[in-house]
Each structure stands twice: as structure tokens, then as C-alpha cells.
Homo-oligomer: A and B are copies of this chain.
């Protein structure tokens, strides 16, 4: 067993994000063989890039609210929502609320054949 607290992980702001702090929580360093758990904190007015890729997301909204923008519209998201984004589906997370939007996002291990 290995553990790390989100507050002890240094954050970064990936290219294409705006007002986002990204943290790897469970990945190579903890020995994860199949999928990685990451955290995204999106400030009010912030967003992730509008993009698609050939792997899925499984997201859990820890706190706050906002929207997910899709190819064919958008949907509100809020605390307690579990969200599945399919491989190759266009998506963007936007915080249009006055409070921080915090999410967990799980992805397949990069480079793994899945």
C-alpha cells in the first residue's frame, strides 16, 4: 500500500488549460499497473482544453459545479457526479461558477495497450 495526500502533491498547469491546477495522485511512482488517478482544480472562469483522444476519462466531481462542453452541446456537472467520457469524444470542462471546481480524473496508463 502506498498513499499520498492531494495537498502534498505539487501541482502544474498543463498546456491548453486556463486556471487549472493538475496533480498526479496515483501513477508510476506508486506502482499503478493499469490506470492512473489525477486531480484537477479549476478556478472560477477556468477550463481544460477542448479536445479528444483515443482513451476514456472516468471523472468524479469532488466539489463545485460547472459544465462539460461536448461536440453536440453541453451539460451541467456538480459535486457527486461520476462522468464517463468515451474514447475519441470531444470534451472540455469549464468552471462557469463563482467557486472552485475540483475533480478526480482516471485514465488508462499511457502507452498501455487497452
Contact = CB atoms under 8 A, between A and B. Distances in A.
B84 A30 contact: yes
B25 A37 contact: no
A111 interface: no
Interface residues of A, number: 40
Contact of A26 (B6, B7, B82): B82
Interface string A6-31: 11000000000000000001100011
A34 B84 contact: no
B32 A58 contact: yes
A86 interface: yes
Given A30-B84, A86-B31, A104-B104, A3 B37 contact: no
B80 A7 contact: yes
A110 B89 CA distance: 24
Interface of A: 1-7, 25-26, 30-35, 37, 39, 56, 58, 60, 62, 68, 70, 75, 77-78, 80-87, 89, 91, 104, 106, 108, 114
